[in-house]
């Protein structure tokens, strides 16, 4: 796109004289004088793509030459004349809308736009009555340009062209932020097949189907909340590990997906089927790991009682996959242990920042802890620390768009905030979670709910601020 300059120019749109900045798009210049041009693949916060062409207008340049251009990405200049309603423009739009209606005959937005141009039925062959994606690419652009995750993109060519996750498999990267679903002009279900956008209505459905208890706006749905210290020397009170072990001993779990250090501090998701494996994975690794493909893999291998431990984004993904899996494998039982999470870090960058800020090698850390605004690294019994704010360069892209601190959709949520040192805060959200807790031995303590609520509100506010340009 051409750079917008500060230079003011004058152009004509539908006979109206318009003052605009040189390089601004025709679409924006027209808006200024109340001339609305229809768009489908355009979003103010994203780079123009020029895919749908419904925003076509006719221009006359300084030499008197006329042509059709897309107004969402065509830059204005001194002396330009624009006609947004010429015969040629109407003909072009009609043709494009007819093509779109033939592609997506049941999509209300396309039906309405086509209807406004007098097209009720396309004269063309309808390939798939259920198709609802117009290939505008807004979902892929928002995911890459703003969220910074790039979980989806275009694949294939010609009639096979579609937007999907790599290899058309369940996404290991999607954080379920919902931005793609918000910007999609057709509410396409396609973008929800192998990614996990969770909008309010999806969250309510999960709560109704899987959770039980009273709904608190900051803490989510729950029946019980307390501080607990188990016999496991874990990250905090070792409750995540203690619950997994108990679940396996009681026969509620036959495999679990946990996160283990691989090389140095670098972590990976692994599947474990015994207590030894669960114990080896205790302790927090403050980085995001790819987990979701493991869930499908385990079910396909014949496991029917699977537990997964993850951050709120992973919990959202697991709930979505659980619903998909239940259709094909109705006997599948998935237990979801959710961790509290304000943000996670990119391993390589966290290592670099740790060296710069603390002068130590993260790979040699025996334990890392983020607590009360401090980042602490323990090496050979010595603790090195700094303010967690100094790690901002290492934060995973996308975390700023995430609004869940307490894993609101888990069966049991576990964190450290709200409890005293050495204790885990435990939030029980379902009958499955309650059953998992039965017979687990731990020392119970008080929890400060207001401390948890405070961080929950902070995280929601941060996400809301980042989402503002997306929600036009
Ligand atoms: C990225 C991240 C950020 C967090 N931020 C906060 C926070 O801001 N405030 C807060 O109160 N708590 C936070 N936690 C949770 C906290 O660090 C503890 O994990 C939690 O209190 C459980 O402690 P525990 O002693 O019961 O866990 P343990 O019994 O030690 O078990 C830890 C479990 O977590 C799993 N795990 C470890 N790393 C990861 C990972 N990267 N992704 C998925 N699973 C993992 C392990 O597989 C293990 O099963 C965060 C956790 C993560 C992973
Ligand atoms: S939910 Fe968020 S992370 Fe996932 S595909 Fe959509 S925009 Fe990307
Ligand atoms: S803040 Fe935590 S839960 Fe949210 S996207 Fe980042 S890692 Fe996932
Ligand atoms: S809105 Fe301009 S090309 Fe789609």
* Boundaries of every domain in the chain: 1-128, 138-192, 200-344+396-451
Model pLDDT, residue 94: 96
Q: Whose C-alpha lies nearest to ligand 2, atom 3?
A: 174
Cα of 189 to ligand 3 centre, how many Å? 24
177 lines ligand 2 (CB under 6 A): yes
CATH top class, domain 138-192: alpha beta
Model pLDDT, residue 3: 64
Model pLDDT, residue 52: 96
CB-based contacts of 67, cutoff 8 Å, min separation 6: 58, 59, 61
Cα of 409 to ligand 3 centre, how many Å? 14
396 lines ligand 1 (CB under 6 A): no
pTM of the model: 0.94
Model pLDDT, residue 2: 54
Q: Whose C-alpha lies nearest to ligand 3, atom 6?
A: 399
Q: Whose C-alpha lies nearest to ligand 3, atom 5?
A: 399
How many residues does this entry show for the chain? 472
CATH number of 1-128: 3.10.20.740
Query: Nearest ligand, CA of residue 190?
Result: 2
Question: Which regions of the chain are under pLDDT 50?
Answer: none
Model pLDDT, residue 121: 85
239 lines ligand 1 (CB under 6 A): yes
Cα of 456 to ligand 3 centre, how many Å? 12
52 lines ligand 4 (CB under 6 A): yes
Query: Nearest ligand, CA of residue 199?
Result: 2
Could you give the CA distance from residue 377 to residue 381 in angstroms, rounded to a whole number? 10
CB-based contacts of 332, cutoff 8 Å, min separation 6: 299, 304, 306, 322, 325, 326
Could you give the CA distance from residue 92 to residue 5 in angstroms, rounded to a whole number? 31
Q: Whose C-alpha lies nearest to ligand 3, atom 8?
A: 313
Tell me, rounded to whole angstroms, the distance of Cα 202 from its chain centroid: 13
Could you give the CA distance from residue 404 to residue 176 in angstroms, rounded to a whole number? 10
197 lines ligand 2 (CB under 6 A): yes
Cα of 401 to ligand 3 centre, how many Å? 9
């Amino acid at each position: 796109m051409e750079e917008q300059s500060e230079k003011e120019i004058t152009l004509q749109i539908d006979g109206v004289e318009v003052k605009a900045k040189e390089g601004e798009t025709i679409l924006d210049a027209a808006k200024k004088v109340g001339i609305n041009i229809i768009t489908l693949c355009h979003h103010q916060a994203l780079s123009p793509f020029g895919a749908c062409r419904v925003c076509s207008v006719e221009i006359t340049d300084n030499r008197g030459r006329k042509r059709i251009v897309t107004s969402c990405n065509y830059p204005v200049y001194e002396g330009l004349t624009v006609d947004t309603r010429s015969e040629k423009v109407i003909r072009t739009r009609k043709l494009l809308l007819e093509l779109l209606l033939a592609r997506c005959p049941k999509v209300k937005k396309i039906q309405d736009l086509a209807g406004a141009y007098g097209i009720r039925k396309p004269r063309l062959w309808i390939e798939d009555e259920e198709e609802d994606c117009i290939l505008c690419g807004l979902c892929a652009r928002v995911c890459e340009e703003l969220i910074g995750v790039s979980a989806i993109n275009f694949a294939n060519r010609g009639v096979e062209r579609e937007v999907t996750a790599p290899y058309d498999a369940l996404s290991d990267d999607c954080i379920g932020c919902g931005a793609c679903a918000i910007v999609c002009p057709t509410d396409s279900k396609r973008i929800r097949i192998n990614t996990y956008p969770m909008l309010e209505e999806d969250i309510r459905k999960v709560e109704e189907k899987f959770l039980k208890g009273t709904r608190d706006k900051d803490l989510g749905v729950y029946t019980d909340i307390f501080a607990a210290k188990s016999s496991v020397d874990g990250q905090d009170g070792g409750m995540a590990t203690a619950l997994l072990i108990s679940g396996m001993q009681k026969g509620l779990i036959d495999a679990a997906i946990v996160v283990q250090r691989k090389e140095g501090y670098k972590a990976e998701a692994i599947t474990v089927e015994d207590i030894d494996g669960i114990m080896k994975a205790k302790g927090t690794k403050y980085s995001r790991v790819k987990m979701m493909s493991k869930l499908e893999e385990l079910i396909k291998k014949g496991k029917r009682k699977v537990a997964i431990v993850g951050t709120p984004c992973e919990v959202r993904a697991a709930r979505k996959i659980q619903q998909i899996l239940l259709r094909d494998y109705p006997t599948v039982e998935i237990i979801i242990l959710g961790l509290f999470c304000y943000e996670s870090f990119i391993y390589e960058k966290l290592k670099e920042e740790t060296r710069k800020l603390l002068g130590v090698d993260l790979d040699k850390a025996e334990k890392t802890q983020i607590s009360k605004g401090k980042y602490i690294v323990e090496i050979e019994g010595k603790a090195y620390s700094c303010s967690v704010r100094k790690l901002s360069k290492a934060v995973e892209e996308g975390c700023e768009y995430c609004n869940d601190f307490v894993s609101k959709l888990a069966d049991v949520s576990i964190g450290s905030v709200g409890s005293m040192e050495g204790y885990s805060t435990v939030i029980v959200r379902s009958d499955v979670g309650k059953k998992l807790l039965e017979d687990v031995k731990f020392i119970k303590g008080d929890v400060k709910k207001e401390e948890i609520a405070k961080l929950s509100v902070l995280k929601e506010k941060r996400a809301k601020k980042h989402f503002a340009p997306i929600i036009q």
